[in-house]
Amino acid sequence: MIIEIENLKKSFKDVKAVDEISFNVREGELFAFLGVNGAGKSTTINIISGILAKDGGTVKICGNNIETDADRIKSEIGIVFQDSVLDKKMSAYDNLKSRAGLYGIFGKAFKARLEELTALLDLKDILKRPVNKLSGGQKRRIDIARALFHNPKVLILDEPTTGLDPKTRITVWSVVEKLRKEQGLTVFLTTHYMEEAATADYVVILDGGKKVAEGTPHDLKTAYASDFIKLYKHIDEAEKYFAALGLNVKRERDFVEIELNSTAQVGQFFADKPEFFEDFEVLKGNMDNVFLKVTGKDLKEV
Amino acid sequence: MTKMTECKKLISLVSRNTKCYFKDKFTFFMSLLTPIILFVLFVTFLRNIYIESLEKAFSENNLTVNTKIINGCAGAWLMSSILSVSAVTVAFCSNTIMIDDKINSSVNDFRVSPVKGTTVSLAYFISNFLITFTVLITVMLIGHIYLACVGWYLTVADTFMILVDIICGILFGTLLAGVVESFISTQGGLSAVATLVSSMYGFICGAYMPISSFSKGLQNVLSLMPGIYSVGTMRNHYLNGYMQAFIEEMRANSVDENIINGVINGIRDSFDANLYSFGTKIPLGAMYGILLGACALLLVAYIAIVIIKNKKK
């Protein structure tokens, strides 16, 4: 395990921001921390990266304890903050140079690493430009380059796509995917975008500072999310029929959606009421349903 | 090896802070606001007031002196005001990078890096010192060109001591800014402090009106502020050459030594080259002592703040 967290605790006065959470991250995986604002995601990241001190529990990164080997841990992790910390008036090159300096990377070593990252993240055309003249996606690429300059084993992304337009989000994700494939990097992601969490290898859902569920997206969907059928014909009759069976039925303008207790029910309903199934689709439960089930909160509404 | 790397990190941080400052044209302009205001005030009406005041000091004793010395003396007084006050006001404005880093959370980027908190704080201090020094030297050079045009009577020794005074003043200003601005973490707080310091410090230190023109009570209160001794040392070294020129001119006109001493002491008193605390004249050496003592106290406070802030997360 590259990250081992046990019974981590952190309070701010009376508020328990992180309440005895434990989890492990395997080397090379994309690990997602899912939760609404205030769930404890950023606090946990801030403890892991050494910005905040913990109140209790243990944190180990690459086998190093955060209390005794903080500097070694800092060399093993790179972090992309939710809000860019680049110096906006300075060029991308100057930003990378000053950040590399913090890790003791100067001269030839700086030039060599800059060349690698320029090729990897396609930075050539933007290096000389001031950061405040770059687009959101270009800034994020520089943010990622900054976080990777010292060759960390773990890349922490704190809500990296929040506030970005859909096109830029896709750009950022393609960069992250490339890094995982080409560099074998462990990526620790916090997000409140379900589609991002759904692509992760392992997901931990936080709510009110507590861990409320964990597993692979498939495991979580199997455990917490129901399947649905959508019927597009005879929707009035279908609505009444399935409601009478005590199922959760949602009526929309041109279809009715029925939440199933098990996928096997589809076959039974199809046999009993084939006329309803002239036009239909079966939907697998998604991470939105998982999140709603385990936290009682709809991420689209909070 | 580790110390060497930490030293390189320090240089890298200082370079970054300095670049950030000079790339921000607005902050640079704000830093120059005090020297610009003082210069405009001087050109518009202070210059005439000082020249009239000097001429009056001589005419009261039925003496006449070369107007070139009088003009130069008024300019030198202005230079001592600008440089000693700017050493503090520029330091407060150019330290904005430290607060901007808190506001923009750039400080978190330093915390996640293997760089010591003390190195980051030291870098802020050094870069602020270098920026303020650069601005003041630029202002000094421009001012000295002006003095050369209107009347240059500075000696080499005094010019060297002016550099020493600038360094002492900046040391005081940078440490004061470091301590005060350690407690600021918002843009509003920064603007309030920068505005307050820029507008008040010049008055408190007698940059606009000599302290000698204030009431005795206020003079005594102000004498407790170490900043005015930075003005005092600068006044001494800027005015020495001009006082000597006055003396030589009066001697050449066979003026009685007692009258010469009376006139020169009168000018030195009214132009704050002589500073008094509760009736006692403060010698030049004591001015340096008070100023450097204040610097030492501020340094201890700054170190304490840095240590406490690094422990508290």
> CB–CB of B106 and A85 under 8 A?
yes
Q: What is the pLDDT of residue A302?
A: 54
Per the domain annotation, does A83 fall within a domain? yes
Residue A187 domain-assigned (yes or no): yes
Quick one: tokens of A215?
A: 């597993």
Q: Bigger pLDDT: A291 or B160?
A: B160
Average pLDDT, chain A: 88
Using one digit for the tens of pLDDT, what is the confidence trace for A24-63? 999 989 999 888 888 888 899 999 988 888 999 999 999 8
Q: Which residues of B touch A (CB under 8 A)?
A: 5, 8-9, 11-13, 15-16, 19-20, 23-24, 104-106, 108-115, 313
Q: Is residue A138 a part of any domain in this protein? A: no
pLDDT tens for residues A85-94? Answer: 999 999 999 9
Judged by phi (left if over 0) then psi (alpha if -120 to 50, else beta), residue A246 lies in left
Q: Are residues A233 and A178 in the same domain?
A: no
Tell me if A119 is assigned to some domain: no
Tens digits of pLDDT across chain B (313 residues): 467 788 999 999 999 999 999 888 887 887 777 788 878 888 788 888 889 989 988 888 888 888 999 999 999 998 999 999 999 989 998 888 899 898 888 888 998 998 888 899 999 999 999 999 999 999 999 999 999 999 999 999 999 999 999 999 999 999 999 999 999 888 888 888 888 887 788 888 887 788 988 989 999 999 999 999 999 999 999 999 999 999 999 999 888 999 999 999 999 999 999 999 998 999 999 999 999 999 999 999 999 998 888 776 6
Same domain? A162 vs A84: yes
DSSP single-letter state for residue A91: B
Q: Residue A203 falls within a domain, yes or no?
A: yes
Q: Could you give the count of Cα atoms lying within 13 Å of B301 in the half-sphere of its Cβ?
A: 17
Q: Which residues of B touch A74 (CB under 8 A)?
A: 112-114
Distance of CA B72 to the CA centre of its chain: 20
Query: In this predicted structure, what is the pLDDT of residue A155?
Result: 92
Distances from the Cα of A282 to the Cα of A226, A232, A270, angstroms: 11, 12, 12
Q: How far is A222 from chain B (nearest CA, A)?
A: 38
Q: Is residue A166 domain-shared with residue A50, that is, in the same domain?
A: yes
Give the other-Cβ count within 10 Å of B190's Cβ.
21
Query: Shortest CB distance from B114 goes to which of A51, A71, A99?
Result: A71
3-state secondary structure labels for all residues of chain B:
CHHHHHHHHHHHHHHHHHHHHHHCHHHHHHHCHHHHHHHHHHHHHHHHHHHHHHHHHHHCCCCCCCHHHHHHHHHHHHHHHHHHHHHHHHHHHHCHHHHHHHHCCHHHHHHCCCCCHHHHHHHHHHHHHHHHHHHHHHHHHHHHHHHHHHCCCCCHHHHHHHHHHHHHHHHHHHHHHHHHHCCCCCHHHHHHHHHHHHHHHHHHCCCCCCHHHCCHHHHHHHCCCCHHHHHHHHHHHHHHHHHHHHHHHHHHCCCCHHHHHHHHHHHHHHCCCCEEECCEEECHHHHHHHHHHHHHHHHHHHHHHHHHHHHCC
Query: Is A139 within a domain?
Result: no
CA B141 to chain A, closest CA, distance in angstroms equals 28
Q: Which residue is closest to B27 within chain A, CA to CA?
A: A89
Q: Write phi, then psi, for B14 (nearest 5 degrees).
A: -60, -45
- For B33-62, b/e burial (b = at least 16 CB within 10 A) is bbbebbbebbeeebbeebbebbeebbeeee
The model's pTM: 0.84
Strands (E) located in A84-191: 154-158, 186-191
Which residue from A79, A85, A130 is facing B104, i.e. has the nearest CB? Answer: A85
Residues of A within an 8 Å Cβ radius of B: 46, 49-53, 71, 74-75, 77, 79, 81, 83, 85, 87, 89-90, 94, 97-99, 101-104, 106, 130
What the block records as the tokens of B192 is 């309030």
Across the interface, of A74, A75, A89, the residue whose CB is closest to B20 is A89
Task: Render A116-142 in DSSP notation, one character per residue.
Answer: HHHHHHT-TTTTTSBGGGS-HHHHHHH
Amino acid at A142: I
Question: Domain check: are A212 and A245 in the same one?
Answer: no
Distance CA A161, CA A140 (A): 9
Residue B123 distance to chain A (closest CA, Å): 12
Number of domains into which chain A is organized: 2
Has residue A297 got a pLDDT over 50? yes
> What does the pLDDT look like over A68-86, one tens digit per residue?
888 888 889 999 998 889 9
pLDDT at A186: 93
8 Å CB contact of A83 and B104? yes
DSSP A274: G
- Per the domain annotation, does A39 fall within a domain? yes
Asked, for residue A128, whether it belongs to a domain, the answer is: no
Range of the structural domain that residue A168 is part of:
3-88+152-221
**How many CB contacts within 8 angstroms connect chain A with chain B?**
72
What residues of chain A lie within 8 A of the CB of B11, using their CB? 101
Q: What is the CATH number of the domain that holds A175?
A: 3.40.50.300
> Of A74, A83, A101, which has the smallest distance from its Cβ to B105's Cβ?
A83
* 3-state class percentages of chain B: helix first, strand second, coil last, to nearest 5: 80, 0, 15
Output the pLDDT for position B1: 47
> Could you tell me which residues come within 8 angstroms of residue B292 by beta carbon, excluding any fewer than 6 positions away?
B168
Q: Are A19 and A71 members of one domain?
A: yes
Count of domains forming chain B: 1
A234 and A275 part of one domain: yes
Q: Which position has the token pair 């995982």?
A: A180
Q: Span A122-150, mean pLDDT?
A: 91
Closest chain B residue to the Cα of A147, Cα to Cα = B109
Write out the residue range of the structural domain in which residue B294 sits: 2-312
What is the domain-level CATH number for residue A270?
Answer: 3.30.70.1280
Q: Which residue has the higher pLDDT, A225 or B288?
A: B288
H-helix or E-strand spanning residue B298: helix B284-311
